[in-house]
Structure 1
Amino acid sequence: MFEQSLIQLGLSYTQAAVYEALLKSGPLPAGKIAKKTEFKRGLIYKILEELGESGLIEKKEEENKVAIFEVKHPLQLRDFAEKKQQEARDAKLALEGVLPAIVSEFNLVSQKPGILFFEGEEGIREVLADSLSSRSEIYTYADMESVVKYMDKINKDYVKKRNKLGLKKKVVMIDNEFTREYMKKYYKETTDVRFIDHELYPFSALTEIYDGTISYVTAEKENKIGVIIKNESIYKMQKALFEFVWNNAKKID
């Protein structure tokens, strides 16, 4: 009756069966639980221990009497569910921390391009943060006016961390009055800038090229997305194209 719901909650099939047997029958010794569920007694003791550790049942013992097991108040299931949800959030957070490295290792062995997709402001932060581990100079295309307009706080946090790490960057920017004024007070120690004509080459995004990786971020009010591509061949092509553009771009006054 409740078995499927209990499994969806996070219990195993055997745990759900034992829990429901106790729920319907009331307090029982392990032997009778084994008969009701048709599980071997050795397995029953293991399941009862697991359910006890989860806070869903309790064991009652009296001197010279067989131990009895009974279900705790069903509201304990809510606490169990919340604990499982927190464990899932922690697991996801831990995975995000190592996933880029796992993808890189997979790509190295399989020689397949690794592509990671991100959404929202937190996704944009993750994409930018990936370049903070770069071992080489970062190449970037940027429409600074759009970046300041739609992701200013995210970019400032990123730039602060990058400068603290001393990571150098070459940036090709859209040339307009706003960008030239903005760059007068930028971090010149770690950032070298050149311009391309905003009418001939319009775009409103941010691209970074570093360590076998290319990342893209949209600088828009809506539809904030980011993509990370890890592939040596694509990286080398984009790096060569950037260097061509850089050598033909206008130097900052």
Structure 2
Amino acid sequence: MINEVLINLGLSEEEVDVYTSLLNSGGQSASQLSKTTKVKRTHIYNIASSLVKRGLVSQNKTNGTTIFVPLSPDKLLSLAHDKKDEAERIESTLEAVLPNLKSKYNLAENKPVISFYEGKEGVKKVYLDTISEAKPILALVETTKVDLEMYKWVTTEYVKMRVKNDIPVKAIVASGLKTKTYIGLDKTELRETKEVPSDKFPFENEINIYGNKVSIINHKKGSKLLGIIIDNPIVANTFRSWFHLTWSRL
């Protein structure tokens, strides 16, 4: 318990070892302290000198040898008061800068995290993130101009995973050759779809809104496959509000 109290006052374990040895055995040289403590002999002098600076130990020479002598433990109360005063100064300083720190925290907390993905495997990771989140999806979908390999993967493997995980979708889909088939599978694929004319609303990308995230996918046939995930509740809720407004008017 004594060692713990001394450490809480700011002494290191080595300082505690040397100080308690001096209290128990009286004045000692560095050579003697290396035998009565666990401190390495090469460190003894520095540790003892540190205790001298703290006012817990004095030093004097006897026959040319430096002897370290313990002073009254009453000095420990002074250390405790100093530590208390320092804590109060730190608290006062912290209170002064806390509003600025909170402001920085709020900015960081609300700053969107944006992740980019490329190629077929990258775009697959964007889709699979909706499975990991396991939240209902609001989607803006184009089925006609999609890369054939991606379309096959999405309509078979991805949809099976989504259905297995009981993740529903509300989709606004641009009309096209595959739209009728797409809508025809709504019930079995846990989806509710509304169609818009592609000549008036030519969707170039797919957008998925889920949880606190929004993904934007370019899987257009003949173009570079890209995916973006924006992780931010404010952005997601803005897109979600926009989707519901559009949905309610179709």
Aligning the two structures, in what range does the TM-score lie when normalised by the shorter sequence? 0.5 to 0.7
> Which amino acid letter does the alignment assign opposite residue 140 of structure 2?
Y
Partner of 2:171: 171
C-alpha contact (below 8 Å) 1:127/1:215 kept by paired residues: yes
Residues 79-138 of structure 1: per-residue CA shift (max 9 Å, x gap): xxxxxxxxxxxxxxxxxxxxxxxxxxx999633210000000000010000011234311
- Give the TM-score taking structure 2 as reference length: 0.53
Q: Distance in 2 between matches of 1:211 and 1:137?
A: 7
For the 8 Å contact 1:215–1:227, the answer to whether it is kept is yes
The 1:209/1:107 distance shift into structure 2, 3 A limit, reads farther
SS class of match (2:145)? helix
Secondary structure of the corresponding residue to residue 203 of structure 2: coil
Post-superposition offset of 1:248 = 1.7
Larger C-alpha radius of gyration, 1 or 2? 2
Q: Over aligned residues, Cα RMSD in angstroms?
A: 2.3
Q: How far apart are residue 176 of structure 1 and its match?
A: 3.1
1:205 is aligned to 2:229: no
Q: Is the 8 A contact 1:212 1:232 kept in 2?
A: yes
- Mapped to 2, the partners of 1:199 and 1:207 lie a distance apart of 18
CA distance in 1, matches of 2:186, 2:106: 36
Q: Per-residue deviation at 1:179? A: 0.7
Give yes or no for contact 1:107–1:114 (8 Å, CA) kept in 2.
no
The answer on 1:134 being equivalent to 2:133 is yes
Instruction: Please say which of residues 190-199 and 150-159 is displaced more in the overlay.
Output: 150-159
Q: What amino acid is aligned across from residue 218 of structure 1 in structure 2? A: N
Structure 2 contact 218–226 (Cα < 8 Å) conserved: yes
- Counterpart in 2 of 1:38? none
Tell me the distance in 2 between the aligned counterparts of 1:187 and 1:206: 21
What's the counterpart of residue 246 of structure 1?
247
The amino acid across from 2:160 in the alignment is: K
Instruction: Report the identity percentage.
Output: 26
Residue 114 (structure 1) aligned with residue 108 (structure 2): no
User: In structure 2, the residue corresponding to 1:145 is in which secondary structure?
Assistant: coil
Structure 1 outlier segments of 4+, above 4 Å: 106-109
Do the aligned partners of residues 148 and 183 (structure 1) sit closer, same or farther apart at CA in structure 2, a change above 3 Å counting? farther
Pairing 1:124–2:131 present: no
Alignment partners' CA distance in 2, 1:147 and 1:192: 20
Q: State the match for 1:225 in structure 2.
A: 226
The offset of 1:178, in angstroms, is 2.9
Mapped contact 2:110–2:234 kept (Cα < 8 A)? no
**Change in CA separation of 1:188 and 1:243 when aligned onto 2, cut-off 3 Å:** farther
CA distance in 1, matches of 2:109, 2:189: 39
Whole-angstrom CA distance in 1 between matches of 2:144 and 2:132: 26
Size of the aligned set, in residue pairs, is: 144
- State the alpha-carbon separation in 2 of the partners of residues 226 and 154 from structure 1: 15
SS in 1 for 2:178: helix
Q: Distance in 1 between matches of 2:247 and 2:129?
A: 23
- Judging changes above 3 Å, is the alpha-carbon distance between structure 1 residues 177 and 222 closer, same or farther for their aligned structure 2 residues? closer
Residues in 1 aligned to 2:165 and 2:141: alpha-carbon distance in whole angstroms: 21
Q: Is contact 1:146-1:205 (8 Å) kept?
A: no
Cα displacement (A) at 1:232? 1.1
Moved more, 133-142 or 155-164: 133-142
CA deviations on 1:31-54 (whole Å, 9 max, x unpaired) are xxxxxxxxxxxxxxxxxxxxxxxx
Structure 2 residue runs of 5 or longer lacking an equivalent are: 1-104
Aligned AA (2:125)? E
CA distance in 2, matches of 1:131, 1:108: 26
